Structure 1
Amino acid sequence: MKLKRQQQGLTFVGLVVVGVLLALAGLVAAQVFPTYLEYMAVQKAVNKASGGSTVAEVRDLFDKAATIDDIRTITAKDLTVGKEGDRVVVSFDYVREIHLAGPAWLVMKYKGRSK
């Protein structure tokens, strides 16, 4: 006597649930990705700005790089400029908030320093 094999797979309802979850993850990723790209641009601008020798020069270099890369989240006055030995070190930190739905927000904290 042969046993019947039970079919395996995804039901239509399961497919819809998986599709909705993937769509929501895609929406969140579409909002997060530009903030990460901006963070990378800020890091690049900070590395360029650390070539300055005075605080004013560092801020001016950052402003020029920020204009080119269209950085709007952080300005030169938000930078912390210091020295480690004979090297100029520029650091930054800022927060980006993305509204998800109702009272839910996604908060991302970006932090970095020049190399």
Structure 2
Amino acid sequence: MISALRRAPLARQRGITLLGLLFWAVIIATLALVVMKVLPSVNEYYTIQKAVNKIAREGGSTVQDVRNAFEKQKEIEYSIQSIAGKDLNVSKENDKLVVSFAYDKEILLMEPVYLLIKYSGRSQ
């Protein structure tokens, strides 16, 4: 009888330890924090890109007209705060109006830690 017990395979225990659980909780919480902080900035970028495309299509004839149109669009879209009409670069390529922009966005993650994102875009 004792020899039968010795020959029986021991069941391996599987699972996650408390330290493993804490490790993964910290990793997931950190990623969630970064995503929640960055998402509004990305949304603002896409709003700016949409406004610039609209202005380039409907466009004005002068640089000042384009900048004024952007300021009007900025009043409509409350999410645009990082850039102003004066920050736009307006040019013509092949008789087509091209509006480009570039700006930096600093996002506070935790008190001494900031995330710097450099955005740039141009009309299509």
**Aligned residue-pair number:** 115
More moved, 30-39 vs 10-19: 10-19
Given candidates 90, 94, 113, the residue that maps to 1:104 is 113
More moved, 16-25 vs 96-105: 96-105
For 2:118, the aligned partner's letter is K
Instruction: Within 5 Å, give how 1:1-115 maps onto structure 2.
Output: 1-50=7-56, 51-70=59-78, 71-115=80-124
Alpha-carbon RMSD: 1.2
Q: Contact 2:37 / 2:109 at 8 angstroms: preserved in 1?
A: no
Q: Contact 2:33 / 2:109 at 8 angstroms: preserved in 1?
A: no
Shift of 1:107: 0.7
Shift of 1:104: 2.5
Normalized against structure 1, the TM-score is what?
A: 0.93
Q: Contact 2:98 / 2:123 at 8 angstroms: preserved in 1?
A: yes
Normalized against structure 2, the TM-score is what?
A: 0.87
Q: Contact 2:105 / 2:117 at 8 angstroms: preserved in 1?
A: yes
Gaps of 5+ in 1: none
Work out the CA distance in 2 between the residues paired with 1:21 and 1:77. Answer: 41
Shift of 1:102: 4.6
- Which structure has the larger Rg over C-alpha atoms? 2
Q: Secondary structure at 1:60's aligned position in 2? A: helix
Identity %: 46
Shift of 1:29: 0.7
